[in-house]
Amino acid sequence: MDEKFFVNKDYEAYNIYLSIRAHFHGRTGKGFDIKNSNYTANMPFAKYQAKSAIVIMFKKLTKKFQRQEVIDIIVSNFANGDKFGGQPFDSNAIDVYKDWKSRQNSQSYIFKQDLESILERMDSDKIEDATVGDGHPLILKMLLGKLITLETVVILNRELDFIQDYADDLILKDTCLTIQRYTPFVDNSTKKLYLKHLDLINKIARTRNSSNTLKI
């Protein structure tokens, strides 16, 4: 069952939006701590009421969607690269959410497909390790080309920790930051999924795995 809003659900939804925006686009450190905030940005109610267009937007949103759905709509759009997090929550934003939801429901299948796609590309391009390279690593190139999903990269990076090597790269730094800040929204149970396909992953990250002594 979806977690419900409190009394002023549109006001709560706007605070949820502000907290997620701060998490993805905070200017200091690693951004707003979304877990400790409990999606609370503490926007004064009077200040919120003064934003008439915002009030109308969030009233419409919360008439159609429950609290967790609102969180997922906002997260999925920020993760998709929309700096406004889906606002004004039109059909395009909802399509992004629906596509994101579909990926969550098929995560195991998509993860394996992505791993096989990476290995196929490694073979054709004669690449030894998809997480490293003289230029940009194959995994991040494929992510930018929408050939693999963001969730797959998050799952791999949790264990291999390769994006830190490219966090200061002028081209990749925004992508690396998105991966980092999206990570808390990807289910921690994916560790089992990672271990299930460790044989494929050891081929994808050969040099990194040899130093980390990952074993099947």
pLDDT at position 67 over 80? yes
Fold of 107-212: Annexin V; domain 1 (1.10.220)
For residues 165 and 132, is the Cβ–Cβ distance under 8 A?
Answer: yes
Segments making up each domain of the chain, as ranges: 9-104, 107-212
Q: What pLDDT sits at residue 211?
A: 44
Mean pLDDT along residues 26-54:
78
Least confident of 1-15, 62-76, 139-153: 1-15
State the architecture of 9-104 in CATH terms. Orthogonal Bundle (1.10)
Contact 127, 121 (CB under 8 A): yes
Q: What's residue 48's pLDDT?
A: 94
pLDDT, residue 6, reads: 59
pLDDT at 40: 81
Name the residue type at position 201. Answer: I
Question: Is the pLDDT confidence value at 210 over 50?
Answer: no
Handedness of CA 40, 46, 47, 48 (dihedral sign): positive
Q: At residue 47, does pLDDT exceed 70?
A: yes
Average pLDDT over residues 67-86: 96
Q: Do the Cβ atoms of 89 and 73 come closer than 8 Å?
A: yes
Overall pTM surpassing 0.95 (yes/no): no
Q: Which has the closest alpha carbon to 157: 191, 134, 126?
A: 191
Share of residues in the chain with pLDDT > 90 (%): 77
pLDDT band at 39 (very low <50, low <70, confident <90, very high): confident
- Is the model's pLDDT at 133 over the cut of 70? yes
- The Cα–Cα gap between 150 and 128 comes to 22
pLDDT at 7 over 70: no
Q: Lowest mean pLDDT: which of 29-38, 77-86, 116-125, 163-172?
A: 29-38
